[in-house]
Amino acid sequence: MNLITALARLLIFPGLLFAVPVAWFFLWVERKSVAMMQERIGPPFMQPFFDFIKLLGKSTPSRSGVDGLLMKAWPLIAVSAAVGAVGLLPVLPSSGGFEGDLILLLALLEVPAICIIAAGFSSRSLFGEIGSAREAVLTVSYNIVFLLAIVSIAFSQHTFRLEALAQLPATPLRYLGVLAILVCIPAKLHINPFSLPNAEQEIYSGPLTEYAGPELAMWQLSHGLEWVAATGLVATLALPHVAFWWLGIPIFAAFSFGIVLLLSVLAAATARLAIDTTVRFYWQCTLVFAVLAISSALFMRIRS
């Protein structure tokens, strides 16, 4: 991938200019589907965009010292990392990429969670620190499953390059890994039943309790971009390779939309789990997935 191609993917498609409107659309789908499940009207179509603009126009509390600078920096870093993750997705056929770009994508997907943990502690708020502690425990719990699934898929198909994975025929272990990734996405995006870091009834907004104005707008944008990156990763791994861009892009977008709708309905239909139940759930999932992954790998080796 040359520099011009990399900048085009990062800033135009599937990066910034494409991902930001899609992020607002996915936020609207999330809120609207939950409202419909609860027999409410829900927000109008443009509401996430209006909320973003409104927050940009509000003032933020004045903060001095290093903590104030860090609180401004964390949401910007989270948004930048999420845009970078989206820019790596091989939406277009023959879009380039490089060997090991899957590892970079995983690293960028972890940056927003790390920033949220740091933001809660930087705020010096009791509610923010409790939320950050919950986020740290949750991140460690689901990442065992998430990383095990990604590594299993990459090893089973002998590549850590996203475009190569998208073009290779799927294996049973690959579909098993995609299912494990889907189980982790609600925790990564803090939606029910794994919304414990930002439980409004218990700790207000958790790590983001002290945020307002443009900084809070950046956090909301980061959340939407994480939706785009996470669903895009699943679509890349689950969909068969399509040689024509005019067909591949609509299929990719429709599949990602379906994931958002499915997980939003699941969030509306479930209640928040306690932290000990969440940790136990993901550790049990880790054990089950590890056994199934090893069994699948042995089965594929015997067949070959």
Q: What tens digit of pLDDT does each residue of 141-197 get?
A: 999 889 888 988 888 888 899 988 888 887 888 888 899 999 999 999 988 888 877
Q: What is the mean pLDDT of residues 95-100?
A: 77
pLDDT at 199 over 70: no
> Rounded to two decimals, what is the model's pTM?
0.92
pLDDT at 294 over 80: no
Sequence letter at residue 28: W
pLDDT band at 6 (very low <50, low <70, confident <90, very high): confident
- Distance of alpha carbon 36 from its chain centroid, rounded? 23
Distance, CA of 93 to CA of 98 (rounded, Å): 14
Among the listed residues 60, 117, 95, 89, the one whose alpha carbon sits nearest the alpha carbon of residue 226: 89
Q: What is the mean pLDDT of residues 210-224?
A: 93
Sequence letter at residue 8: A
120-143 confidence digits (pLDDT tens): 999 888 888 888 988 999 999 999
pLDDT at 88 over 60: yes
Predicted local confidence at residue 93, as pLDDT: 66
Show the domain range for 228.
3-303
Helix (H, G, I), strand (E, B) or coil at 125: coil
pLDDT at 286 over 70: yes
pLDDT band at 301 (very low <50, low <70, confident <90, very high): low
Predicted local confidence at residue 189, as pLDDT: 92
DSSP letter, residue 15:
S
Distance, CA of 53 to CA of 51 (rounded, Å): 6
35 or 300, higher pLDDT = 35
Decide: 288 and 143 in contact? Cβ < 8 Å.
Answer: no
238-252 confidence digits (pLDDT tens): 988 777 777 888 899
Predicted local confidence at residue 204, as pLDDT: 66
pLDDT at 203 over 70: no
Helix (H, G, I), strand (E, B) or coil at 270: coil
188 or 68, higher pLDDT = 188
Q: How many domains does the chain have?
A: 1
pLDDT band at 275 (very low <50, low <70, confident <90, very high): confident
Tokens matching residue 212: 């307002």
- Helix H segments across 124-244? 126-156, 162-167, 172-188, 200-203, 213-238
Give helix 101-122 / helix 213-238 axis angle, nearest 10°.
150
Predicted local confidence at residue 234, as pLDDT: 94
